[in-house]
C-alpha cells in the first residue's frame, strides 16, 4: 500500500511539472495539451513501464532451453521466497548488473546482464537474484519502473524545449522564451528529484532479504564487491541515466546527497551488522 501511494504521488508530481511547463509555453491551450500528454504518460507508466524499461535495454527473455543455469537459479529462489516465478531476461551488456521490474509479484521480471553471468559464480548470482526478489516481494518494482519512465519523459521534455529554443522561429522564442527556459531547467531537476524520491533504504531492505533467503550475508557481500569492481573496469552502457536507480548497483552514481544507492561499504556494513 505504501509503495502504491508513493507511485501515485510520483505520477502527480510529473503531471504538475507538465502542466506548469505547458502553461508557460502556451497559456491555457498549452496547459490543456500538457494535461492530455501527462494523462497519457501516466497511463503508459502505470501499465507498461516494465516493458518500456526492458525494451530500452534490448533485454531478451530467457527460457530453460536458452539459459538453463539462470532460470534454474531463479526458479529455486522463487520457491524459497514463496513468490510466483518471475519472467527472466538477459541484457546484452558486458558490465555486471541486474534489476527487477513489474507491477507486482504476479507481473514481475528479473533481468541480469551477460557480464554478470560471465563473471559471477552460482552463489553470487543467487545472492543478486535474491536481492531483486526482495524488491519484488516489497513491491518496490512498480515505483522504480514508473520513476524511470517518468524521468525519461521529463528528460525528453527538456530536450524538446532546448530544440525549440535553438531552432524555433524568433516570434516563438519571444513569446515562449521564458517557458522554454523553465522547461530546460526544471524538467531535468524534476527527473533527478523523482529518482531521489525512491529512497536508498530500499536497497538495504533488499540486501537483508537476500541475506535471509541465502542463509548468510556472505554471498551478497562477495557479489557486491564483484559488481563494484566490474563496473569500475567496464564503461557503463546504461541506455538512459533515468534507469540508474533500478539496478542493484548504479552504473553511473553521483557522489554525496545525489547518490541513488548507498555506498558498497555502507551496504556491507549493514549486512555484517545483521
Question: Could you read off the pLDDT of 226-274 as tens digits, one per residue?
Answer: 999 998 888 666 656 667 778 998 876 544 445 668 889 999 999 999 8
CA distance 273 to 205: 13
As a whole number, the mean pLDDT across the chain is 80
- For helices 140-167 and 170-197, angle between their N-to-C axes, nearest 10 degrees: 160
Q: Does the pLDDT at position 138 exceed 70?
A: yes
DSSP conformation letters of 205-253: HHHHHHHHHHTSSHHHHHHHHHHHHHHHHS----S-GGGGGGBSS-TT-
> Residues of CATH 3.30.2010.10 domain(s) within the chain?
59-141+199-273
Q: Residue range 134-147: average pLDDT?
A: 80
204 pLDDT higher than 90: yes
Asked if 141 and 100 touch (Cβ cutoff 8 Å), the reply is yes
Give me the pLDDT at residue 40, please. Answer: 73
Nearest to 52 by CA among 133, 143, 148, 187: 148
* H-only helix segments in 57-197: 68-81, 114-119, 122-137, 140-167, 170-197
Query: Tens digit of pLDDT for each residue in 56-80?
Result: 899 999 999 999 999 999 999 999 9
Percent of the chain with pLDDT over 70: 61
- Provide the grid cell at 244: 540508474
106 or 185: which carries more pLDDT confidence? 106
- Residue 237: predicted pLDDT: 65
Angle at 193 between CA 192 and CA 198, to 5 degrees: 100
pTM confidence score:
0.75
Q: What is the mean pLDDT of residues 148-167?
A: 62
Q: Known catalytic residues?
A: 132
In what side-by-side order are the strands of the sheet with 108-113?
Answer: 60-61, 87-91, 108-113, 98-102
* Per-residue pLDDT band at 176 (split at 50, 70, 90): low
CATH number for the region 59-141+199-273 comes to 3.30.2010.10
State the pLDDT at residue 98.
Answer: 96
Q: What digits encode the pLDDT tens for the residues 27-51?
A: 677 677 767 776 776 666 667 778 8
DSSP letter, residue 198:
S
Amino acid at each position: 500500500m505504501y509503495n502504491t501511494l508513493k507511485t501515485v504521488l510520483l505520477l502527480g508530481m510529473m503531471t504538475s511539472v507538465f502542466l506548469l511547463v505547458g502553461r508557460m509555453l502556451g497559456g491555457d491551450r498549452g496547459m490543456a495539451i500538457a494535461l492530455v500528454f501527462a494523462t497519457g504518460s501516466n497511463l503508459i507508466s502505470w501499465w507498461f513501464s516494465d516493458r518500456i524499461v526492458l525494451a530500452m535495454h534490448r533485454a531478451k527473455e530467457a527460457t530453460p532451453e536458452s539459459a538453463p543455469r539462470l532460470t534454474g537459479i531463479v526458479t529455486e529462489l522463487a520457491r524459497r521466497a514463496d513468490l510466483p516465478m518471475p519472467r527472466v531476461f538477459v541484457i546484452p551488456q558486458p558490465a555486471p548488473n541486474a534489476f527487477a521490474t513489474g507491477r507486482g509479484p504476479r507481473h514481475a521480471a528479473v533481468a541480469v546482464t551477460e557480464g554478470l553471468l560471465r563473471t559471477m559464480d552460482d552463489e553470487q548470482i543467487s545472492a543478486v537474484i535474491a536481492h531483486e526478489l526482495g524488491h519484488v516481494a516489497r513491491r518496490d518494482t512498480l515505483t522504480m519502473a514508473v520513476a524511470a519512465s517518468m524521468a525519461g519523459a521529463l528528460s525528453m521534455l527538456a530536450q524538446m524545449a532546448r530544440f525549440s529554443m535553438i531552432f524555433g522561429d524568433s516570434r516563438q522564442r519571444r513569446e515562449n522564451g521564458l517557458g522554454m527556459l523553465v522547461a530546460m531547467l526544471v524538467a531535468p531537476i524534476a527527473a533527478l528529484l523523482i529518482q531521489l524520491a525512491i529512497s536508498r533504504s530500499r536497497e538495504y531492505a533488499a540486501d537483508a532479504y537476500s541475506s535471509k533467503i541465502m542463509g548468510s550475508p556472505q554471498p551478497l557481500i562477495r557479489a557486491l564487491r564483484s559488481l563494484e569492481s566490474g563496473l569500475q573496469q567496464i564503461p557503463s552502457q546504461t541506455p538512459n541515466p533515468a534507469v540508474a536507480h533500478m539496478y542493484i548497483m548504479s552504473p553511473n552514481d553521483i557522489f554525496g546527497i545525489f547518490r541513488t544507492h548507498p555506498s558498497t561499504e555502507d551496504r556491507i556494513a549493514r549486512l555484517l551488522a545483521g
